[in-house]
Amino acid sequence: MKTLNTKTLKLFALIGLSLAGGLAQAAEVQVAVAANFAEPMKVIAAKFEQATGDKVAVSLGSTGKFYAQIKNGAPYDVMLSADAETPAKLVREGYAVPGSQFTYSIGKLVLWSPKPRYVDDGGAVLKKGDFRHLAVANPKLAPYGEAAMETLAKLDVLSQIKPKLVQGENIAQTYQFVASGNADLGFVALSQVYEDGKIMSGSAWIVPAALYSPIRQDAVLLAKGKGNPAAAALLDFLKGPQARAVIRDYGYAL
Amino acid sequence: MTLSAADLTAVWLTIKLAAIVTALLLVIGTPIAWWLARTRSPLKGPVGAVVALPLVLPPTVLGFYLLLAMGPHGPIGRMTQAMGLGTLPFTFWGLVVASTFYSLPFVVQPLQNAFEAFGDRPLEAAATLGAAPLDAFFSVALPLARPGYLTAAVLGFAHTVGEFGVVLMIGGDIPGQTRVVSVLIYDHVEATEYAQANWLAASMVVFSFLVLLVMYVWAPNKKRGG
- ∠ CA(A133), CA(A139), CA(A142), 5° rounding? 110
Hey, what domains does chain B have and what are their CATH numbers?
5-225 (1.10.3720.10)
- Pair A72, A118 in one domain: no
- Chain B touched by A64 (CB under 8 Å): yes
- Pair A35, A91 in one domain: yes
The gap from C-alpha A34 to its chain's centroid, in whole angstroms, comes to 4
pLDDT in tens, B6-51: 899 999 999 999 999 999 999 999 999 999 999 999 999 999 999 9
Report the relative pairing of strands A55-61 and A102-107 from DSSP bridges: unpaired
Higher pLDDT residue, A39 or A186? A186
Question: Are B172 and A168 an interchain contact pair (Cβ–Cβ within 8 Å)?
Answer: yes
Higher pLDDT residue, A10 or A94? A94
Determine the Cα–Cα distance for residues A183 and A158; give it in Å rounded to an integer.
17
- Pair A142, A229 in one domain: no
Tally helices (H) and strands (E) across chain A: 11, 12
Check whether B54 has a pLDDT greater than 90: yes
pLDDT in tens, B148-181: 999 999 999 999 999 999 998 898 888 888 999 9
Question: Are B90 and A133 an interchain contact pair (Cβ–Cβ within 8 Å)?
Answer: yes
Higher pLDDT residue, B25 or A19? B25
- For chain B, the residues whose C-beta falls within 8 A of a C-beta of chain A are 67-68, 70-73, 86-87, 89-90, 168-169, 172-174, 186-187, 189-192
pLDDT in tens, A24-54: 456 899 999 998 898 899 999 999 999 999 9
Q: Is residue A21 part of a domain?
A: no
Q: Output the domain CATH number for residue A126.
A: 3.40.190.10
Q: H-type helices in B39-180, by residue range?
A: 44-56, 59-70, 75-82, 92-117, 121-128, 133-136, 142-144, 146-161, 165-171
The alpha-carbon gap from B167 to the nearest alpha carbon of chain A, in Å, equals 11
Question: Are A177 and B172 an interchain contact pair (Cβ–Cβ within 8 Å)?
Answer: yes
- Pair A160, A185 in one domain: yes
pLDDT of residue A1: 43
Q: Is residue A123 part of a domain?
A: yes
- Pair A100, A225 in one domain: yes
- Chain B touched by A169 (CB under 8 Å): yes
Q: Is residue A13 part of a domain?
A: no
- Pair A128, A174 in one domain: yes
Q: Residue A228 belongs to what domain range?
A: 27-106+215-249
- Calculate mean pLDDT across residues B194-220: 85
Q: Is residue A231 part of a domain?
A: yes
- Give the three-state DSSP class for A30: strand
The nearest alpha carbon in chain A to B60 belongs to A173
- Chain B touched by A217 (CB under 8 Å): no
Side chain identity at residue A22, one-letter code: G
- Give the three-state DSSP class for A200: coil
Structural domain tally of chain A? 2
pLDDT of residue A13: 61
pLDDT of residue B86: 86
pLDDT band per the 50, 70, 90 thresholds, residue B131:
confident
SS3 content of chain A, % helix, strand, coil (to 5): 45, 25, 30
The alpha-carbon gap from B63 to the nearest alpha carbon of chain A, in Å, equals 12
- Pair A185, A220 in one domain: no
Q: Is residue A152 part of a domain?
A: yes
pLDDT band per the 50, 70, 90 thresholds, residue A197:
confident
Give A140's contacts in chain B (Cβ within 8 Å): 187, 190-191
Q: Is residue A98 part of a domain?
A: yes
The nearest alpha carbon in chain B to A64 belongs to B190
- Pair A48, A67 in one domain: yes
pLDDT in tens, B68-77: 899 888 999 9
Q: pTM for the full model?
A: 0.77
pLDDT in tens, A75-116: 899 999 999 999 999 999 999 999 999 999 999 999 999 999
Q: Is residue A135 part of a domain?
A: yes
pLDDT of residue A22: 46
